[in-house]
Amino acid sequence: MIKRFQAWLQQKEQSSKPQELTRDNVPEHVAIIMDGNGRWAKHRGLPRVAGHHNGMKAVKRVTIAANDMGIKVLTMYVFSTENWKRPKDEVDFLMKLPQEFLAIELDELIEKNVQVRMMGYREDLPEHTLRALEEAERKTKHNTGLILNFALNYGSQREIVESVRHIAREVEAGRLNVDDIEEATIHSHLLSNGLPDPDLLIRTSGELRLSNFMLWQLAYSELWFTDIYWPDFNEQHLREAVIEYQRRSRRYGGLQ
């Protein structure tokens, strides 16, 4: 009897799950760990930087697709605070990509009402990288469409440490009571302040970890992993991820 009820319940759940993307439950914020550039290149006998260069083209494809789908914020993990450990040539190449991307794409992004932002530790970036990003931020700051948020020289543990330091200084200065520190206090000191937490996290290339990415903000995000290497990721893969997101039931620790 119980088995028949469970089978009926499962069938009911399956049939109510959307097979197509529905416009009314699009994730507001999608965050992506773009992984697999190096392996994509290696499989083709190309240098790793060719993978990053093709990864840049995927950034464009996915930004346009996200905008068309009605996603409001797209955060892309471009460079972590740990990525400085890579060979200098590769780091130099990665640091030139935002500039190259924006030189080619900024006009179209402006036309599509996209707002460009950068989330990360600016002081460590080469001047040319920062200049390109800040110019894009300035030129798009009044745009009201998709927020394209580049996580660059971003590390979540450092972000949490710095947030705690700020809060401790406010307590020290007598502006804040220890007992008034809440989740929202930490949240408002993070680099992502002002943005909603990601509803959906995508990681490409088959790796199943968070790699120091938005650890606080991902507390209740839906996670979607794919074996596709980032340079091959396209509109259809984004649709698949969003359709899967729409099938999930988000309970935030509660019941249904």
Minimum distance, C-beta of residue 125 to ligand FPP, in the bound complex (Å): 12
Please check whether residue 92 is in contact with residue 129, taking contact to mean a CB–CB distance below 8 angstroms: no
Count Cβ atoms below 10 Å from residue 21 Cβ, excluding itself.
16
For residue 201, the SS3 value is strand
Please tell me whether residue 52 binds ligand FPP under the rule CB under 6 A: yes
Please tell me whether residue 78 binds ligand FPP under the rule CB under 6 A: yes
CA gap 116, 139 in Å, rounded: 9
Please tell me whether residue 56 binds ligand FPP under the rule CB under 6 A: yes
CA gap 188, 194 in Å, rounded: 8
Site string for ligand FPP, 227-246 (x = CB under 6 A): ---x----------------
Q: Say if residue 10 is exposed, middle or buried (CB neighbours under 10 Å; 0-12, 13-18, 19+).
A: exposed
Candidate list 24, 25, 35, 89, residue with the active-site label: 35
Minimum distance, C-beta of residue 101 to ligand FPP, in the bound complex (Å): 3
Q: Between residues 208 and 255, which has the closer beta carbon with respect to ligand FPP?
A: 208
Q: Which helix (H) or strand (E) holds 150?
A: strand 147-154
Q: Using alpha carbons, select from 81, 59, 80, 63 the residue that is nearest to residue 71.
A: 63
- Is-catalytic flag, 212? no
Two tokens at 254? 């509660």
> Looking at beta carbons, which residue is closest to ligand FPP?
38
Q: Using alpha carbons, select from 237, 218, 239, 219 the residue that is nearest to residue 229.
A: 237
Please tell me whether residue 38 binds ligand FPP under the rule CB under 6 A: yes
Site string for ligand FPP, 58-77 (x = CB under 6 A): -x------------------
- Is-catalytic flag, 193? no
CA gap 213, 172 in Å, rounded: 29
Strands ordered across the beta sheet of 29-33:
115-119, 147-154, 73-80, 29-33, 200-203, 222-225
Please tell me whether residue 55 binds ligand FPP under the rule CB under 6 A: yes
Among the residue ranges 51-59, 109-117, 173-181, 190-198, the one whose residues contact ligand FPP (CB under 6 A) = 51-59
Q: Between residues 32 and 242, which has the closer beta carbon with respect to ligand FPP?
A: 32
| Total residues in contact with ligand FPP, by rule CB under 6 A | 19
Minimum distance, C-beta of residue 79 to ligand FPP, in the bound complex (Å): 6
Two tokens at 35? 């992984």
By the criterion CB under 6 A, which residues form the site for ligand FPP? Answer: 34-39, 52, 55-56, 59, 78, 83, 94, 97-98, 101, 150, 205, 230
User: Which residues are identified as catalytic?
Assistant: 35, 83
